[in-house]
C-alpha cells in the first residue's frame, strides 16, 4: 500500500490492494441485480454498530457521549443528489477504519475472491459472508465521504473518502464529530432516485422496518412496529398478535391460530407463524405462493423465500428470524442453501408438533383448521415422504362408528378395533349417504367392524401413499378377497347348494362375459344385497379411475377396472335367478345383466348407464306379462 500527502496536511491518499480493487469491481459491476440492497447493507452495519455499543456500555463506564441516544437517521437531498446515513454506534479508530474499510484484510478479501472464482462471478450469495457489504454503496455512488468518531475517550474524528476507482483518502476531520459514523453518498446521475424520500422510504420499510434501534428518515420515524417474534410470549397480548398479523401479512381477516416459538439447536430460530382464517385455495382462488418472510437479526433477507417450508405448508404467513444465517444468504436467491434446507426440516417438524398440541387442547379449533386446510395435510402425505408418518395422526374422517358430521382419528379407530382385527378398513364415496346406501358397508355392519368414510377426491391417493398406520394395513372395503368371516341376520333362507352355485356362477360369466369381468363367485360378505361388484385391482380404486378418465384422451381405456362379481347365495333374487335360468334362460339373462349393472352402478364403475333403461322396461314388460298370465290361470 502506498501513500502520499495532499493539500490537507493531515490527509493521506492510499491505493487499495489489488485484491480489494477486484472486490470493488465485482461488487459494483456484477454481484447484485437489485441496487436497493446497498441501503439495507448500510443500515445493517449501522444497527450492528449500535448493538456493539450497547454491549460495551454494560462493562465500560467511560464512553464518549454516553448519554447520546442510540439511533439511525437517514437524510435525503434531491437537489444536491445525496443520501446521508448516520448512526450513534461504536464508531472507528484510525486503525479500525483502515482495517475494516481500507484493506479489508480483516474481512477476508482473499477468501471472498476465491469463493467467487469457485462458484462463479455471478453468484450473489457471498458478499455478507466476507464482510465487504459496505462496498455495495459504489453501485450507485460517484463519491462517498465517511466521518467517524470512536466511542473511546480521547478518540479522534476522522474522514474517509473514495470514488471507488482504486484509491481512498484518510484525514482528520475539520470539525469534531459526534460518536458513531456518518456516511454521505453523492449519487451517480443515473441513480439520483435514491436522493428522494419516497424511494428510500420504500426500501427501508421493505428491508429494515424491524431494526432494533430507532430508524428515521428526514425526521420521520419508520420502525414503529416492534419485532414481536423476539419478545416473550407472556409479554404479548392476543390483540397484539392479531394486530401484528394484519401489519406483517397485509391481512384483512383474523388469524385462525398462530405459533410463536424459539429454538437454539440445531439452529438459532425465532419464529411467529400464522394460520390465516380462511384458505383461499379452497375458495377457488389460484395456488398460494410462500408468504413467510426470512430475517436475520431483524433485517429482512427475503420477503417470500421458496424452500423455507415444504410446499404443502404454503398457506402459512409470518416471520422466521435466524441469526445463524449470513445476512446475505440470499440477496436474490437462496434455494440451494444447506442452512435453508435445515431450517425447512426444523420448521416443518415444529409446526406439525403445534398442530398435534392444538388438536389435544382445542379439538373444535383443530376441526376448523381441518375444514380449511385438510387438502394441504393430505398433499403433504402424498408428496412429502419425510413428514408422512408424522402427518398421519392429524387426519380426520367420519366413520360407521361416528354420528354424521363427527370426525375420528386413525388412532381412535385402532383403539376401537375388534380383537383379532388386523386391518383398518375404509370406503370412498361422494358422501356419507352414498357410502351407507351402497352394498359394501353391510358386511362390515353385520360384523360390527368399523369403516372410515373417505369423501374427498384425494383420499384414495392419501391411503395408497400412507399404506399403513401403527403397523395396521389400510384396506379398501370394496376390495376383493376380503375374509370377514360369517355373519348373522342374512336375508332369505339357506344358501344354494354348492353344485347349483357353481353352475349359476359359470352361467352368469358365460352369458354376460364382459372382458373386464374377471370372475363370478359366491361370497360370505353380503347380507341384504343380492350381489356386489368388487375391485379386483387394489391399486386402481373407483376414485382413481374416474380421475384418470377425467384427464382426457384415451386414458380411460387404460383405466378399465378388473371386476369380480360376488353374489349372495342366501338372497331370494339369486334363488329365483337360478331357477329361472332353467325355465326361461333369455329372461334370466336380462335379470343377470341388470344385477351386474346395478352392482357396477353402486360401485361407481358403470361407464355407460344408458342401456339400463331399455333393459329395465324389458324386464318390467316380461314381469308384467308373467303376472298377467298367472292371473288368467287363477281366473280360469
C-alpha cell at 609: 348407464
Same domain, 512 and 603: yes
Report the CATH number at residue 570: 1.20.120.790
Task: For residue 170, give the DSSP letter.
Answer: E
530 assigned to some structural domain: yes
Q: Kindly tell me the sign of the dihedral angle through the C-alpha atoms of 205, 40, 152, 93.
A: negative
460 assigned to some structural domain: yes
Same domain, 244 and 311: yes
In three state form, how does the secondary structure of 313-349 look? HCCCEEEEECCCCCCCCCCCCCCCCHHHHHHHHHHHH
Closest CA to 441 of 313, 532, 369, 562: 532
Same domain, 606 and 505: yes
152 assigned to some structural domain: yes
Predicted TM-score (pTM) of this structure: 0.75
Same domain, 213 and 326: no
Provide the domain count of the chain: 4
354 assigned to some structural domain: yes
Report the CATH number at residue 408: 3.40.50.11260
Last residue of a domain, one of 198, 221, 244: 221
479 assigned to some structural domain: no
Report the CATH number at residue 302: 3.30.230.80
C-beta neighbour count of 506 within 10 angstroms: 11
User: What is residue 287's predicted lDDT score, i.e. its pLDDT?
Assistant: 84
Same domain, 62 and 111: yes
> Helix (H) and strand (E) counts for the chain?
19, 23
Same domain, 79 and 184: yes
379 assigned to some structural domain: no
Report the CATH number at residue 197: 3.30.565.10
Tell me how far apart the terminal alpha carbons of the chain are, to the nearest angstrom: 131
Structural domain range at position 594: 498-635
610 assigned to some structural domain: yes
Give me the residues paired with residue 294 across strands: 302, 320
380 assigned to some structural domain: no
DSSP calls for 190-257: GGGGGGSHHHHHHHHHHHSTT-SS-EEETTEE---S--GGGS-GGG--HHHHHHHHHHHHT--S--SE
C-alpha dist (Å) from residue 401 to 409, 418, 463, 466: 12, 13, 19, 22
C-alpha dist (Å) from residue 164 to 25, 29, 282, 512: 9, 12, 54, 89
Same domain, 121 and 264: no
Longest Cα–Cα distance in the chain: 141
C-alpha cell at 362: 382445542
C-beta neighbour count of 243 within 10 angstroms: 13
Same domain, 343 and 422: no
C-beta neighbour count of 514 within 10 angstroms: 12
C-alpha dist (Å) from residue 55 to 58, 131, 151, 251: 5, 21, 12, 37
Report whether 305 contacts 334 (CB < 8 A): yes
Same domain, 271 and 315: yes
Same domain, 340 and 403: no
Closest CA to 251 of 240, 259, 242: 242
Instruction: Describe the crossing of helices 585-603 and 610-635 by its angle, rounded to 10 degrees.
Output: 140
Report whether 11 contacts 5 (CB < 8 A): yes
Closest CA to 197 of 299, 80, 85, 83: 83
CA gap 244, 255 in Å, rounded: 10
CA 213: distance to chain centroid?
Answer: 33
Last residue of a domain, one of 203, 221, 239: 221
Same domain, 90 and 36: yes
C-alpha cell at 173: 476531520
From the first residue on, what is the mean pLDDT of each consecutive set of 10 residues in the chain (636 residues)?
50 77 68 79 89 89 92 97 96 85 50 52 40 80 95 93 89 90 96 97 91 92 89 94 92 94 90 94 80 88 88 96 71 61 93 97 96 96 96 97 96 95 92 89 90 93 94 89 65 74 90 78 83 72 58 50 84 90 88 89 76 83 77 60
Same domain, 341 and 456: no
User: What is residue 486's predicted lDDT score, i.e. its pLDDT?
Assistant: 65
C-alpha cell at 446: 353385520
Q: Exposed/middle/buried for 21, CB within 10 Å: 0-12, 13-18, 19+? A: middle
Last residue of a domain, one of 205, 221, 237: 221
Contacts of residue 379, defined as CB under 8 A and 6 or more positions apart, other chains included, come to: 311, 312, 458
C-beta neighbour count of 268 within 10 angstroms: 14
C-beta neighbour count of 67 within 10 angstroms: 5
Amino acid at each position: 500500500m502506498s501513500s502520499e500527502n495532499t493539500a490537507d496536511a493531515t490527509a493521506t491518499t492510499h491505493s487499495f490492494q489489488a485484491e480489494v480493487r477486484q472486490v470493488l469491481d465485482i461488487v459494483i459491476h456484477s454481484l447484485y441485480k437489485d441496487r436497493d440492497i446497498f441501503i439495507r447493507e448500510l443500515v445493517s452495519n449501522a444497527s450492528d454498530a449500535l448493538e456493539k455499543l450497547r454491549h460495551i456500555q454494560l462493562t465500560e463506564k467511560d464512553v464518549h457521549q454516553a448519554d447520546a441516544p442510540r439511533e439511525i437517521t437517514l437524510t435525503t437531498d434531491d437537489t444536491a443528489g445525496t443520501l446521508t446515513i448516520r448512526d450513534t454506534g461504536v464508531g472507528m479508530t484510525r486503525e479500525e477504519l483502515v482495517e475494516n474499510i481500507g484493506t479489508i484484510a480483516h474481512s477476508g478479501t482473499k477468501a471472498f475472491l476465491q469463493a467467487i472464482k469457485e462458484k462463479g462471478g455471478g453468484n450473489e450469495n457471498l458478499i455478507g459472508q466476507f464482510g465487504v457489504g459496505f462496498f455495495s454503496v459504489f453501485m450507485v455512488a460517484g463519491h462517498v465521504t465517511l466521518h467517524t468518531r470512536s466511542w473511546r475517550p480521547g478518540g479522534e474524528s476522522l474522514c474517509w473518502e473514495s470514488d471507488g476507482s482504486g484509491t481512498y483518502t484518510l484525514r482528520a476531520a475539520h470539525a469534531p464529530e459526534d460518536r458513531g459514523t456518518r456516511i454521505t453518498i453523492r449519487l451517480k446521475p443515473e441513480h439520483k432516485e435514491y436522493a428522494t424520500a419516497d424511494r428510500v422510504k420504500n426500501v427501508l420499510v421493505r428491508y429494515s422496518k424491524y431494526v432494533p434501534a430507532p430508524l428515521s428518515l428526514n425526521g420521520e420515524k419508520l420502525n414503529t412496529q416492534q419485532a414481536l417474534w423476539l419478545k416473550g410470549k407472556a409479554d404479548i397480548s392476543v390483540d397484539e398478535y392479531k394486530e401484528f398479523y394484519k401489519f406483517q401479512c397485509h391481512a384483512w381477516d383474523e388469524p385462525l391460530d398462530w405459533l410463536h416459538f424459539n429454538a437454539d439447536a440445531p439452529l438459532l430460530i425465532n419464529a411467529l407463524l400464522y394460520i390465516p382464517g380462511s384458505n383461499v385455495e379452497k375458495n377457488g382462488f389460484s395456488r398460494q405462493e410462500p408468504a413467510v418472510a426470512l430475517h436475520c437479526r431483524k433485517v429482512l433477507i427475503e420477503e417470500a423465500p421458496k424452500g423455507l417450508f415444504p410446499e404443502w405448508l404454503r398457506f402459512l404467513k409470518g416471520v422466521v428470524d435466524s441469526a445463524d444465517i449470513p445476512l446475505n444468504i440470499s440477496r436474490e436467491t437462496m434455494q440451494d442453501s444447506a442452512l435453508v434446507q435445515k431450517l425447512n426440516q426444523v420448521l416443518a417438524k415444529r409446526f406439525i408438533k403445534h398442530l398435534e398440541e392444538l388438536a389435544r387442547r382445542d379439538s373444535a379449533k383443530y376441526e376448523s383448521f381441518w375444514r380449511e386446510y385438510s387438502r394441504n395435510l393430505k398433499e403433504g402425505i402424498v408428496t412429502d415422504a419425510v413428514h408422512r408418518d408424522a402427518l398421519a395422526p392429524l387426519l380426520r374422517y367420519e366413520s360407521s362408528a361416528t354420528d354424521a358430521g363427527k370426525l375420528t382419528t386413525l388412532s381412535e379407530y385402532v383403539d376401537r378395533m375388534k380383537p383379532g382385527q388386523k386391518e383398518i378398513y375404509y370406503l370412498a364415496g361422494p358422501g356419507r349417504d352414498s357410502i351407507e346406501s351402497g352394498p359394501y358397508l353391510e358386511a362390515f355392519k353385520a360384523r360390527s367392524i368399523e369403516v372410515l368414510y373417505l369423501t374427498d377426491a384425494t383420499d384414495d391417493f392419501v391411503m395408497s401413499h400412507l399404506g399403513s398406520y401403527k403397523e395396521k394395513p389400510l384396506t379398501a372395503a370394496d376390495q376383493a378377497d376380503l375374509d370377514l368371516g360369517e355373519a348373522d341376520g342374512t336375508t332369505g333362507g339357506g344358501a344354494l347348494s354348492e353344485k347349483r352355485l357353481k353352475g349359476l356362477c359359470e352361467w352368469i360369466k358365460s352369458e354376460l362375459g364382459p372382458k373386464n369381468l374377471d370372475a363370478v363367485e359366491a361370497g360370505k360378505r353380503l347380507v341384504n344385497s343380492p350381489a356386489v361388484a368388487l375391485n379386483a385391482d387394489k391399486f386402481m380404486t373407483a376414485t382413481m379411475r374416474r380421475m384418470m378418465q377425467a384427464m382426457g384422451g384415451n386414458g380411460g381405456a387404460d383405466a378399465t377396472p378388473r371386476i369380480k362379481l360376488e353374489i349372495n347365495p342366501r338372497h331370494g333374487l339369486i334363488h329365483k335367478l337360478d331357477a329361472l335360468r332353467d325355465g326361461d334362460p333369455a329372461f334370466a339373462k336380462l335379470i343377470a345383466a341388470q344385477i351386474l349393472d346395478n352392482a357396477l352402478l353402486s360401485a361407481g364403475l358403470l361407464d355407460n348407464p344408458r342401456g339400463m333403461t331399455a333393459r329395465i322396461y324389458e324386464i318390467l314388460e316380461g314381469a308384467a306379462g308373467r303376472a298377467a298370465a298367472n292371473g288368467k290361470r287363477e281366473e280360469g
